[in-house]
Amino acid sequence: MSTTAPTGTTTPTTSFARVARRAAWLVNALFWSAFAVLEGVNHGWLAGTAALAFLIAPDLTFLAGIGTDPVTLEKGQLPPRAVPFYNAAHRALIPLALMAAYMMGPGFLQMPALFAALCGWLAHISYDRAFGYGLRTKEGFQRA
């Protein structure tokens, strides 16, 4: 994909930027996946299960659209009533903020399963961005 510059020439910067951004998200996804596995190995099955559950959980927001007539939706469109839930579950700032709060919290807060779950959640978001799935418009379409 290339863009047309005002002079009429095309520049490949858009496609390069997209590929670089997706590659960065993939590296991020692999990092959080490895961190989640490490937490599971170091802290047992509960941490591993929490990481796996939160790796899958953000896509359960699709269930908020159950009951929508599929004929009214276009291909790739999420039912509009599910969009706020989907977007909230797919914003990286939320698990990052929770992770920061966890790490800055009191020393008696030792819940490795929670940290592993946050790693799994960040891995999910990162994989989605790496494969081209981002936040949705209020109508339910992928944002450009």
Taking only the tens place, the pLDDT of each residue in 94-136 is 999 999 988 887 765 678 999 999 999 999 999 999 999 999 9
Q: How far apart are CA 64 and CA 79, in angstroms?
A: 8
- For 3, list phi and psi in degrees, rounded to 5: -110, 155
Q: How far apart are CA 110 and CA 18, in angstroms?
A: 39
Q: What is the pLDDT of residue 48?
A: 95
Summarize the confidence of residues 6-34 as an average pLDDT.
83
Instruction: For CA atoms 68, 95, 56, 114, give the dihedral sign.
Output: negative
Q: What is the pLDDT of residue 31?
A: 98
Q: What is the pLDDT of residue 67?
A: 84
What's the whole-number average pLDDT of the chain? 89
Where is average pLDDT lowest: 17-21, 44-48, 100-104?
100-104
Contact 130, 26 (CB under 8 A): yes
